[in-house]
Amino acid sequence: VAEGRGKAQADSLRKARTETKAKLLTGEDRTKYKLVPGTSLKVGDAVLVEAGDIIPSDGEVIEGVASVNEAAITGESAPVIRESGGDRSAVTGGTQVLSDWVRVRITAASGHTFLDRMISLVEGAERQKTPNEIALNILLVGMTLIFVLATATIPSFASYSGGYISVTVLVALFVTLIPTTIGALLSAIGIAGMDRLVRFNALAMS
């Protein structure tokens, strides 16, 4: 479930990146612009981003001041102010300008933006097993081997005492003994934990 959500989120981010149009400023005075795909921008290009536009790529505000919605990246619902100069000039591709306008100089080429790194992180995330999980897996394997040996030796003892146990009974006994319940609980606990993380806008892959 979590892996499916992660892939869906990555697809959504990739779609937003691909379909974003940029107003590339042209001419020496950079007073005019032309619409180009956001993925075609290069480092050093200057773009105009107005109210309602999506910032096409990571960059630095070189002129203007605007209110920017960064909820898609940071999860913070309150808009932030981005302006030229100081420590509030950096903008992230995929965020939306809510009011006013800014001119942005592109600082990251396509494929190397924060959004691209986020997509790669979501798609390539592989969780390492915790020490408790590793110990529990070893315990389950050990117990299973013990129960296999115990079940396999029962016919010999039964034959020695003059009795007989059918294969069906042995299979039923083995199925009853193997610790499958613990393994099933691991998945249930994991899904419950990932569901709680999703409620806090944290994406868990596994």
Whether 206 maps to a domain, the answer reads: no
Domain count, the chain: 2
- The reply to whether 118 and 160 lie within a common domain is no
- The reply to whether 8 and 80 lie within a common domain is yes
User: Where are the extended beta strands (E) located within the chain?
Assistant: 21-26, 32-37, 46-50, 59-69, 80-83, 90-91, 96-106
- The reply to whether 50 and 75 lie within a common domain is yes
Confidence band for 135, pLDDT divided at 50, 70 and 90: confident
pLDDT (tens digit, 9 = 90+) per residue, 41-79? 889 899 999 998 988 889 999 999 999 998 877 777 788
Q: Which of 107, 124, 141 is the last residue of a domain?
A: 124
Range of the domain at 164: 131-200
- The reply to whether 95 and 138 lie within a common domain is no
- The reply to whether 80 and 64 lie within a common domain is yes
State whether residue 108 is helix, strand or coil.
coil
pTM: 0.55
Which of 9, 16, 35 is CA-nearest to residue 24? 35
